[in-house]
Structure formats: structure tokens, C-alpha cells
Chains A and B, each alone.
Chain A
Amino acid sequence: MSSGAPLDPESEKALAYSKFYGGKVGTAPKVPVRSLQDFSVWYTPGVAAVSLAVQADPELSFEYTGRWNTVAVVSDGSRVLGLGNIGPEGSLPVMEGKALIYNYLGGVNAFALPIRVDGAEQLISVVKAMEPSLGGVNLEDIESPKCFEVLDRLRAEMSIPVWHDDQQGTAGVSLAALYGALELTERTIEGTRIVLFGSGAANIATARLLMEAGADPRKVVMVDKKGILYPERDDIDQLFVKNRWKYDLALKTNGDRLKGGLADALKGSDALIAAAGVGPNLVKKEEVAGMNRRSIAFFMANPVPEMLPSDALAAGVEVVATGRSDYPNQVNNSLLFPAIFRGALDVRARTITDSMVIAAAKELARHAKDKGLSAQHILPTMEEWEVYPQVASAVGDTAVREGQARKSVTKDELLHTAMEMIGRARKTMDALRSGGVIVEPPE
């Protein structure tokens, strides 16, 4: 590390383990190799018959190859974690980690694929070119506003699911947490006044998804570094040219045409979703104190939330969530994306619609409710692995009902398949560890 600062224990471990294992994921055979004779089936000459069948009907590539369960985790390395533009090689350890989560929690055959590209057009072109090999694409850590253009174009132009976790994943899990908090505080999404603090990829996507889920645009207020977003703000024409997604929200939201700063936005509001940057004092006690009673606040920044939960609770907020696992109510994308793709892949979906994400969020919230909602429990945790198949089946079922599935299956069948696939991933890990293929890390 160039700074020379001492590393925390997790960072020390990450460096040592990464070097020890030489990467986190790899390919593994799915078929038996009993003798070298088997290659005449798995490879030439037998494989030619399979190729010709797929040539005649390319959709068979979802049946005769591993395409149906394969997801590329693609990044251009332009905005990696909080590290900025560290390039494709720099992003590789992160993408490998993501692929591992897909594999372990979703039973998805994901692999890391950082690419060196120049601008949105080339990124779009490269990803489109890979479509024949993939069941889906997970875009990751791409700078804003380029990520909006890339996702919108690829969703429109490809026939497999394309997902940008920094947008849809964060938006979906925030919605799930909000559903839980709204139920607990006896509100409806339609009647709730929601303030989004921060206007990067996460909150722009969250605002869009909230409105798709029924939030009243007039009651949604966005706040960025320059204050409340409204149509006549001085920089709106700049957004018109450079960030049309944020520009659209400036026109659509804030029906009361509020002006001013965060305190002005929060006065009389019900819920705050902050994704504005590393805290802990980006949001102040006096600002949240102006919210309505039984208020809700999510502070999503990592590693330090925009406001410490203890401060928010002291200022009168009833339900607090953060992105961290050491506080109650962790709003974590990992609750969502493995299951989203499990469900989408199991029906060979052509896309992931907002309705599929909303169905996933509702399923997460339902699971939390079944276990008992409280101010400290509005979402399941990652340990509750049974939630993943349930979310997957809800996603797949929505795809079937919306006509986005290549394969029509019932919700029960989807649940069964998802349980089997995710269960198999866990069993594989256990087998690889107990068989000594994956050894314990060095002390």
C-alpha cells in the first residue's frame, strides 16, 4: 500500500489469503471423466452433433451447454468500491469476490470479467458481443452517469438479463428494507414522504424503483451536495446535458417545489435514504429531528454511515438501517442479487424487469415479517439462507407471468430448483473443503 499506513486485520488477511489461494473462483467439471475415452463424447467427435443442433436452434444453447447458469461479472474498473477509477486489473479482486458470492449464495456459475474499454459505446459493444456465451450479465463498479446509459442500452438491446448491482441491487434491497419499516410504522408507500440524500447511481436507481413500486413522485425529494433538487435550480441545464436520469428526477419529484438543504427536505418527511458518502456527520441530529414521528432512516455508506445509528435514535428516529453487519438492519445487496439471478436463470429470463426486483423486495420483506418485525429487524440477514430460494422463486414466477421467461415453470417447481441449486453450491463447498481440495487458509 502506497500510503504506508498500517492495515486493519481484514485487509492484512485479504492480501495474505489472496496470494495464498491465487484467486477466489475457478471452473470445475460438471461431467464425469472416467477415462480419456469420455472426451470423444465431451469433445470431438461427439460434440459436433451438439454444435449442429445448437446451430439449428441457438436457443438450445440454454439446454445443451452451461450457458443457462453462467453469469459474467463485468467491470471497466471506473468506480471501484470507494477507491475510484482503479482500472480493470484493480477491479479484478472485487469481481472475483462478487462471483464467489453468486456461486455460494445463489448456485450461479459466475466469473469475473473486468475489461479494458474506452467509454460507454465500447463497453456496450463488448458486453453485447459476449451474449452467446452467457445466461446473464452483472455490471459492477462503473462510474455514474455512464452506468445509466450502459444499463439502459444493454437491457434494451440484449436478450439475457443485464443487472447493475450498484443501481438495481441497492435499489431493490433498500425497497425491501423500506417495506419492512413501513409495515412496522403503519404507513403505505404511496403516502410516505421520502427524502433521498445523495444522487449517485444508488439513489437515482432507488428513486426510480420506489416510484415504480408506488411511491408518489410528488412526495419524493432528492438532495445532493447543492441542496434540494428542483426544476429551476441553476445547474439543471447542466444535468440536462450531462445526466439526463437525474434531470428527469428533478422534473418529476418534489411536487411542493421545496428549496434549500437537507434540513428543509427532512422537515415533515417520513423516511430518509442516505447514500451520500462516508460519515459519520454528513447527516446531523438537528436535521433528522425535523422528521415526522415514527421516522425511518437508512444510512448506506460504508465503512462509516452518514450518521451513526446511536445518534439517529437519540434524535428520535424509530427505525435505523445501515450497510454494516455490526449494526441491526444491514441493507446489503448480497441479500438480493444471488437470488435475483437464481430465479431469472431458472426460467431462462430475457431480462430482469423492475417488477421482478419489486417481487424480490416484497419476498424479502415478507420473510422478515414472518420472523417478527421490530425496529431491529426489518430485513432478513445473510445467515437466513432459506430466504434465497424463496426470493428466487418469486423472481422467476414474475418473469413467467410477465412473459419474460423462455421456460415456463410453476412457483413450486422454481422453489424446488432454487433450493437444489443453492443447496448443491453449499454441498460442493463442504465437499471441496472436506476432501482437502480447498485447504484452510494460513495462520
Chain B
Amino acid sequence: MAQPRIRHATKEDSQHVADLMVRLKRLNSEFDPLFMVVEDARERALDYVSASLDSPKVLLLVATQEAKVTGFLRAEIRERVFYKPHLEGHITDMYVLPEFRRKQLGHDILERCSSELAKMGAEIISADLPSRNEIGVHFYMKRGYRRLTETLTHLPQ
């Protein structure tokens, strides 16, 4: 089997990335009912991917294997108005198809992301994921990430 390749996403990848984006959001829904996925998630994902491809502040990477998109990562540059370092690369979405997990692919995507975000000026990198996704949290912590902020959520009665 050919080695996976990690590259910038293109418009030709949009459908595949949208599929994986919906899979990611459905995975998130397993952790908390407040991540319940909307019915038109696929259409929204396509719009979201398209907007991401057009934005100079967004990094969209795909992993491919024999022309199949096996994973993706989306990150964006954010300004930290009151803090130093000033520019933050924030990973909003990352997903690897089950069959390609446990093969270092997630690690390789994250490594590539780090170097690309550095080129975009990011001095620190953060990641966003459901707090109950212990496997995801472990994935980042194993690679030197630590908890910095807590997002507290309330559903008014």
C-alpha cells in the first residue's frame, strides 16, 4: 500500500472533506447532546469548506492514499489581542478515517500543520475538541499540549 501523502486541500477535495467534516461532527455528537448535528450538515460542510479554501487565514490540509482522502485538518489564524504571543494557530477540526488510525497519520498531519501554521506566523497552537473526547484530549496532550482555557456551556431552561 502506498504511503499517505499530506498536502493542502484543493477545490477538487471539497466533497471528500465535507464528508469527513460531517463524520467528525457526528463523532462529536457521541460525546454530548449539545453537539447534535443538524439535518443539512452536508450542505453546510460544503459551504464551510469552500469558505475555508478561500480564506488566507485558514489552513486546510488533507491526507491522501492512492487518491483517497483519508483525513483532514482545518486550522485558522487568530489574533490574541491582549496576550503575547500575539498570533495563535487554532485547530478547529481534525479527522482521520477509522481504517487509517493508529498508523501515525494523525501525528503526521499535526506535524505538518505545525510547520504550516508557523509559516503563517502562528507562535502558539491550540486545538478545539469536545472535553469528553478523552482519546482526542490524550492525543494532543501526548504531544505536549496542555489545558489553557475551559469553555463552560449552559443550556437555559
Measured CB to CB, the residues of A under 8 A from B are 231-232, 234, 236-238, 240-242, 247, 250-251
Q: Is B99's CB within 8 Å of the partner chain A?
A: yes
Chain B interface SS verdict (over half): helix
Interchain pairs with CB closer than 8 A, number: 29
How many chain B residues touch A (CB < 8 A): the figure is: 10
* B31 adjacent to chain A (CB < 8 Å): yes
Cross-chain contact A237 with B99 (CB below 8 angstroms): no
B98 touching A241, Cβ below 8 Å: no
Contact partner, A232, options B26, B99, B135, Cβ 8 Å = B99
| Contact (Cβ within 8 A) A231 B30 | no
Is B125 at the interface (CB under 8 A from chain A)? no
Closest to B22 in A: A234
CB distance from B100 to the nearest CB of A (A): 9
Contact B30–A232 (Cβ < 8 Å): no
Asked if B137 is at the interface of the complex by the 8 Å CB criterion, the answer is: no
Cα-based distance from A241 to B135 in the complex (angstroms): 9
Chain B residues with Cβ below 8 Å from A241 are 27, 30-31
The answer for the CA separation of A250 and B98 in the assembled complex, in Å, is: 9
| Complex Cα–Cα for A238 and B35 (A) | 13
CB pair B98–A232 under 8 Å, yes or no, is yes
Residues in B whose Cβ lies below 8 Å from that of A232: 97-99
Complex CA–CA separation, A236 to B31 (angstroms): 14
In the complex, which residue of chain B has the Cβ closest to the Cβ of A239?
Answer: B98
Q: Which residues of chain B are within 8 angstroms of A237 by Cβ–Cβ distance?
A: 23, 26-27, 30, 98
Is the CB–CB distance between A251 and B27 below 8 Å?
no
Q: Which residues of B contact A251 (CB under 8 A)?
A: 98-99, 101
Q: How far is the CA of A238 from the CA of B101 in the complex (A)?
A: 15
Is the Cβ of B98 less than 8 Å from the Cβ of A236?
yes
Find chain A residues with CB under 8 A from B99 CB: 231-232, 251
Nearest Cβ distance between residue B88 and chain A, in whole angstroms? 28
A236, A237, A247, A250, most chain B CB atoms within 10 A: A237
Q: A400 to nearest B CB, angstroms? A: 35
**Residue contacts A-B, CB under 8 angstroms, 22 given:** A231-B97, A231-B99, A232-B98, A232-B99, A236-B98, A237-B23, A237-B26, A237-B27, A237-B98, A238-B26, A238-B27, A238-B30, A240-B30, A240-B98, A240-B135, A241-B27, A241-B30, A241-B31, A247-B98, A250-B98, A251-B98, A251-B101
